[in-house]
Amino acid sequence: MKYWWYAVILLVLAVVLTVLAIKLSKRPKLSYIISMTLSCVFLTYKSIEFIYYRIIDYPEYPVEYSQFAYFMMGVTMATGFKKTRFLAAFSSLTGALGYIIAGSISPDSMVTTMSSTYYVVFAVIQHELLLFLGLTMMFNVERYRYRDLWIPVVGSLLFIGYSLLVYYHYIYPDYLNVEKIVIVKIVMGTVIGFVIGEENLTPAIQAVTSVAVILLVVGCMFLLCRLNNKVFDRKEKRMAQLGETMPTFDYGLIYLFKKLWAKRKAVKETKGEN
């Protein structure tokens, strides 16, 4: 491997940011503030990036799962919509880990497919921060409920459907890199070609790979939700011993609108009494 150092950088940064996320676990408010800031930065940057592509008429679109995660996390945090927080955290973690694992297994292909050193560096920074963001939102901010796990399942299925529409040119017919869409490779089972070589792929291997990865992803949803609950069981027990309760975070546009509406309603009621 010519670019072995790329794999080392990915793994070292992942370990450092994981440790940092663990260190922040006892400071949920700070974790939330950092997550909110990073999410809004990602949403703003990615929106400007793809708007710019439209202005210059360049055929580049958000088709990868990590790109979905940037927007999902950004919109979730900016609006304050709680129901999609687990989906946002899960997509951030899986999008980032997928990139880090692929870059560690096959660093040469990851580096050589980039058009410049700038994009190599920026890709590393973005995915590592996405990992950190997913960890803080998954384990530091709030407890998630098993009954809401249908949301990430449905969300992931919708994104798969969207990616297949792109792949078969029903949308974005000018997009040229449909063969490189990773989520489509996973659904079709060709992603294993990175490991065994594309020349060794057979329909049976593709089918087994596809089913195995999909089951793994769904299993990871339940596992992460269970880990989240265990982490918050310990936190709530510790805080109960101190006579405290876990904080909740209601921020974003929805919270702002509710607050303004309540204030307006209170003013009307006050005027009515007078």
Q: In whole numbers, what is the pLDDT of the chain averaged over residues?
A: 88
At 45 the pLDDT is: 94
The proportion of the chain whose per-residue pLDDT surpasses 70, expressed as a percent, equals 96
Query: Higher pLDDT residue, 114 or 72?
Result: 72
d(CA 154, CA 167) in angstroms, rounded, equals 20
**First and final CA of the chain: distance in angstroms?**
79
Q: Please give the pLDDT value at position 24.
A: 93
Q: Confidence class of residue 117 from pLDDT cuts 50, 70 and 90?
A: confident
- pLDDT mean over 116-139: 90
pLDDT 10s digits, 221-250: 999 999 999 999 998 888 888 787 878 888
Say if residue 109's pLDDT is above 80: no
Q: How far is CA 113 from the centre of its chain?
A: 22
Across 36-50, 140-154, 171-185, least confident range: 171-185
CA-only gyration radius of the chain, Å: 21
Give one DSSP letter per residue of 27-88, joined into a string.
-HHHHHHHHHHHHHHHHHHHHHHHHHHHHTT------SHHHHHHHHHHHHHHHT-GGGHHHH
Q: Give yes or no for a contact between 36 and 140, defined as CB atoms under 8 angstroms apart.
A: no
Please say if the pLDDT value at position 274 is more than 60. Answer: no
CA proximity to 93, closest of 242, 224, 205: 224
Question: Band of the pLDDT at 195, cuts 50, 70, 90?
Answer: low
CA distance 135 to 10: 16
pLDDT tens across 48-73, in order?
A: 999 999 999 998 899 988 999 999 99
Residue 28 to residue 36: CA distance in whole angstroms = 12
Rounded to the nearest 10 degrees, how much is the dihedral formed by the CA atoms of 24, 26, 30, 36?
70
The 3-state DSSP class for residue 220 equals helix
Q: CA–CA separation, 14 vs 246, rounded Å?
A: 28
pLDDT of residue 128: 95
pLDDT of 118 reads 79
> How confident is the model over 104-123, as a mean pLDDT?
79
Q: Is the pLDDT of residue 272 over 70?
A: no
Comparing CA positions, the residue from 71, 69, 89 lying closest to residue 79 is 71
The reported pLDDT for the residue numbered 102 is: 83
Q: Sign of torsion, CA 116 15 155 259?
A: negative
